[in-house]
A and B are shown apart, each in its own frame.
Chain A
Amino acid sequence: MKYQSFVGLEIHIQLISKTKVFCSCPNHFGDEPNSNVCPVCLGYPGALPSLNEEAVFKALKVCKALDCYINEKVIFDRKNYFYPDMPKNYQITQFESPFGVDGFFNLELDDGSIKKIRIHDVHLEEDAGKMIHDGYQSRLDYNRAGTPLLEIVTEPDLVAGRDAELFVQQFRQMVRYLDVTDGNMEEGSLRCDANTSINLPGKGLGTKTEVKNLNSSRFVNKALTYEIKRHGKVIDKGGEIIQETRLWDEKTSTSKSMRTKEDSHDYRYFPEPDLPPYRVTDVLMKEVEDSMVELPNDRKKRYMDDLKLSFDQAAFITGERKTADWFDSLLSIGSDANQAASWLSGDIQKILNKEDVLLENSPFIPKRIKELFELINDKKISNNIGKEVLQAIFKEDKDPSVIVKDKGLEQVSDSGAVEKIVEEVLAAHPAVVDAVRAGDDKQVGFLMGQLMKATGGKVNPQMAREIIVNKIKLDISGDSQSRDPKIIEKGSEK
């Protein structure tokens, strides 16, 4: 590659909180337009903001997870610009002294290597309302106005579109683990703007462009890949990149200019006089630290290192915190990690996908799965019956022991009884027996199948296999005279 490329992201997440960030209106998506409003979030004359502690707490959690330096004196600023969906025509945000600065995020690349992405800052601000253009009318809904928004700004440490895509995915996973946002990109609770520039190696950053309107991590990748290529073409032709904001158009898979630097706003930032500097106390920071959870990449590494899970299994299980928590609780009551991992990523997930149910909402409570494993491990049921029992747990919402009993699925492990059934099967298939005897061991599988069919799978398969093999081989190694001629006859009948 001729040029070096640089990518930085600005990610906005809508924080989960009972109330808006500066008033007591509910912070709730999807309500009747303009139902969650009051003098404060509508910017009525005389109304003042008062800071929501829950939003502060969640902002600090993200700062902590990104290993940011927490400013002692956190200052809110006014960012001034006119827009109909912004009631006060200034946004309360943070500029000079936000909650967190100078953090980093360990990004795991496709090859499994870790790249440290520096975080410039994490700041808390208020969201705007929504303006809906509807023919000749513009309608305004202020339900979202004043809801808490956290902006995370990275340094331009990402290199390509794929890096940025991974960053968005892993970052999203992290903030969902922290339970600070639902991270839904389609609903806009996680929004991403991407900056990019290119330059000849060693020349530092180039002139950057910003791409907005990226509502999936895949689009982030596509848009950045497009932009980097576009920059290259412009510079190859001897042109210059114009510093501008561009909009990504998914329909055409191109970006187009939205506004250039010349018509960019002078936001005239100044400290918000209605909110005194916020001091983060040691007591609060201790509470934040106590509330922290093991982050997804750490958890994945632990599963691989300590539990010897495969990368895919660990990645799958740690994908959602609730899945990993479920897994951990299954282990904590004594189940084996490998068995749990393979069932979880295999049959359990298959059922959940098919039925479109979340693990945490499903009848698969860890206690039941543990019981299922014990039935299998104690050879009370076979692995295959186990799968059937799993289906039944989902359908009937009952404990596995109850299902096994109700359906009479307990496997036959009494050697006398098994021997009797084996004899019947062998007698029914003399030709196959001959083949096995002649050395075609694969045919044992056929006999096993017949056996399972005859017993509804309830026979202890290991025991049955041993008996089959022993029976046939004993005949081989033993006295050939003692062969029962009837068997040959029957075999030749075929």
Chain B
Amino acid sequence: MSIKSDRWQNLLSDDSLWKSYNEYVNKWEKSIGSFLQFDADKTKGDSSSDGLLKGMPFGVKDNIAVKGFDMTCGSKILENFNCPYTSTAVQKLQGAGAVVVGKMNMDEFGMGSSTDNSALGETNNPWDKSRVAGGSSGGSAASVAAGQVPFALGSDTGGSVRQPASFCGVYGLKPTYGTVSRYGLTAYASSLETIGICAESTAITRDVFNTMKGIDNMDNTTVDYKPSGKDDTEIIAVLKVGENDLSEDVLNSYRVSQQRLKDLGYKLIEVELPTLKYVVPAYYVIATAEASANLARFNGIRYGLAQKGAETPSDLMQMSRNSGFGDEVKLRILLGTYVLRSGFQDQYYHRAQKIRTAILNDFNRIFEEADALMLPVFPTAAFRHGSSDLTQLQQKAADLYTCSANLAGLPALAVPSTIEKGLPVGVQFTAPAFEEERLFRISEKLEEIFPAQKPEGFSEEWKI
């Protein structure tokens, strides 16, 4: 499917088209609330560039900088923050002709798996409004699933693009660490996260990724893109899962996916990841340690919420942070401060770094025999709002399948697989660093025969 010829082409230039699109977006907003800000008047975008993505509207997770829009990160502390600059990734997309139409809801500073931790709005799953869209890039995934935008940028620190993509039935890419500039992405856990993509097709995911990738002088952690050139896959390793590791629905979907791959002619081998049981603790140690420093800059002095009534600068900082941050954010800052204490680093931070090396070694061992690895995205399908299905702790423990790719810096793609009891379930593929194209090709083969399903109310022509 070529983007050039697709339905988004004339949207921004055709006023009557834009009007019905607007109505369509608004209708969905009433039930899903994916946007924190929507540019109905098209005043903030610039579609002058003629490129690969000409005329494509897209949404941007509200922790990524776009000049002219707010950047709230889903937090009260940045509720009034108008962003003075644009991230490199968005700049590149704009350069290719794509236009930002809005900023997407998210868990506060990317900390969560449901988008329920947003201080500024609730986002529902387009398939079932009583359920979450996943998180932390819930707004991005929901908007794509509902057909509000063909793609939306998210950020993936421990699965924050892939898990909501799976929950909403869209494609979700976490690129190789260092391939897409993080300049302009509000940092939560710098060494783990990348800007990622939620999209309605593999083709769009590929074009957006190829547009965004590349070395950026503003981000010293970006690297030369050097794929092996082996884009086609013969052997796919499949992570062995036990009966109790996944919900019945997800387990069923996982097995169907295996069968489909076999039918498509791939050779499958079953593998184990012995270090998998250590990844969640390692992930939370590193992520919270980095977060404790990254979020220190929000102090009410230069921008953002400045609590009134402070007598001293130190009061101002304490009061602003106390009223500006939500509970989950405070919890993670405290955890991170704790694990970095002098004298405790060997026990926590340094140990977590060793696990990080171990999980990468695990992956490398698998990639000696297989071209890619298939694994579940999340143990359940979209859960209900609140803690009735999964507590906050259970939600964290469930990050194991996604956060391993972040610890290892590898690319991973969530692909819609089946619909189970009315909810989409995805499956995830990962490959060695820089092998995104290999993932796209697997995904495309599946997409050809089993295209992503759409929720009720979805319309290609934005008809209500």
Contact = CB atoms under 8 A, between A and B. Distances in A.
Interface of A: 39, 42-51, 78, 80, 82, 84, 87-90, 131, 138, 140, 266-268, 270, 273-276
A26 B342 CA distance: 36
Contacts of B63: 45-46
Nearest to B341: A266
Contacts of B87: 46
Given A270-B345, A273-B190, A82 B296 contact: yes
B337 interface: yes
| CB-based closest 3 A-B pairs | A89-B296, A273-B191, A268-B340
Contacts of A43: 297, 302
Contacts of A82: 296, 299, 314, 317
Nearest to A142: B302
A266 B343 CA distance: 10
A30 to B, nearest CB: 22
A148 to B, nearest CB: 16
A42 B302 CA distance: 8
Contacts of B18: none
B317 A84 contact: yes
A270 B313 contact: no
Given A89-B296, A270-B293, A276 B220 contact: yes
B340 A80 contact: yes
A50 B217 contact: yes
Nearest to B73: A45
Contact of B297 (A50, A88, A131, A266): A88
Given A46-B186, A78-B293, 7 more contacts: A45-B65, A45-B81, A48-B218, A80-B296, A89-B297, A274-B190, A276-B220
Nearest to B317: A82
Contacts of A89: 293, 296-297, 299
Interface string B270-302: 000000000000000000011011001111011
12 contacts: A44-B85, A45-B71, A45-B78, A48-B183, A50-B218, A82-B299, A87-B297, A90-B296, A131-B313, A270-B345, A275-B221, A276-B221
B185 interface: yes
Interface of B: 63-65, 71, 73, 78, 81, 84-85, 87, 182-187, 189-191, 217-221, 289-290, 292-293, 296-299, 301-303, 313-314, 317, 337, 340-342, 345, 349
Greatest chain A CB density within 10 A among B219, B290, B297, B314 is at B297
Contacts of A80: 292-293, 296, 340
Given A42-B302, A84-B299, A268-B340, A50 B219 contact: yes
Nearest to A83: B313
Nearest to B313: A84
A128 B184 CA distance: 22
A140 B301 contact: yes
B342 A44 contact: no
A304 to B, nearest CB: 48
B296 A48 contact: no
A352 B176 CA distance: 64
A270 B185 contact: no
Contacts of B187: 45-46, 48, 274
A140 B301 CA distance: 9
A47 B183 contact: yes
A90 to B, nearest CB: 5
Contacts of B345: 270
Contacts of A42: 302
Greatest chain B CB density within 10 A among A45, A51, A89 is at A45
Contacts of A48: 182-183, 187, 218-221
Contacts of B84: 39, 44
Contacts of B191: 273
Contacts of A90: 293, 296
Nearest to A50: B220
A45 to B, nearest CB: 4
A80 B295 CA distance: 11
Given A46-B64, A268-B342, A87 B221 contact: no
A84 B301 contact: yes
B220 A270 contact: no
Nearest to A266: B342
A27 to B, nearest CB: 18
Nearest to B182: A48
Contacts of B298: 45
Contacts of A275: 220-221
Contacts of A44: 84-85, 302-303
A87 B340 CA distance: 21
Nearest to B304: A45
B65 A46 contact: yes
Contacts of A78: 293
A256 to B, nearest CB: 21
Nearest to A79: B293
Contacts of B78: 45
Given A45-B186, A46-B186, A89-B296, A274 B71 contact: no
Contacts of B73: 45
Contacts of A49: 220
Contact of B184 (A46, A140, A267, A276): A46
Contacts of A140: 301
Contacts of B302: 42-44, 87
Contacts of B299: 82, 84, 89
Contact of A46 (B185, B189, B314, B337): B185
A273 B185 CA distance: 14
A270 B348 CA distance: 12
A270 B340 contact: yes
Contacts of B65: 45-46
Contacts of A87: 297, 302
B349 A270 contact: yes
A3 to B, nearest CB: 31
B272 to A, nearest CB: 30
Nearest to B75: A45
A273 to B, nearest CB: 4
Contacts of A47: 85, 183-184
Contacts of B317: 82, 84
Nearest to A275: B220
B109 to A, nearest CB: 9
Contacts of B289: 270
B298 to A, nearest CB: 8
A48 B182 CA distance: 8
B197 to A, nearest CB: 18
A26 B191 CA distance: 29
A51 B221 CA distance: 11
Contacts of B296: 80, 82, 88-90
Nearest to B298: A45
A51 B219 CA distance: 10
B340 to A, nearest CB: 4
A266 B342 CA distance: 6
Contacts of A270: 289-290, 293, 340, 345, 349
A270 B287 CA distance: 13
B413 to A, nearest CB: 24
A51 to B, nearest CB: 6
A422 B297 CA distance: 88
Given A46-B187, A268-B337, A268-B342, A273 B71 contact: no
Contacts of B340: 80, 268, 270
Contacts of A138: 313
A275 B314 CA distance: 29
Contacts of A88: 293, 296-297
Greatest chain A CB density within 10 A among B71, B81, B313, B349 is at B313
Contacts of B186: 45-46
Contact of B220 (A45, A131, A267, A274): A274
B126 to A, nearest CB: 28
Nearest to A131: B313
A317 to B, nearest CB: 44
A104 B414 CA distance: 56
A182 B292 CA distance: 37
Contacts of A46: 63-65, 71, 87, 182-187
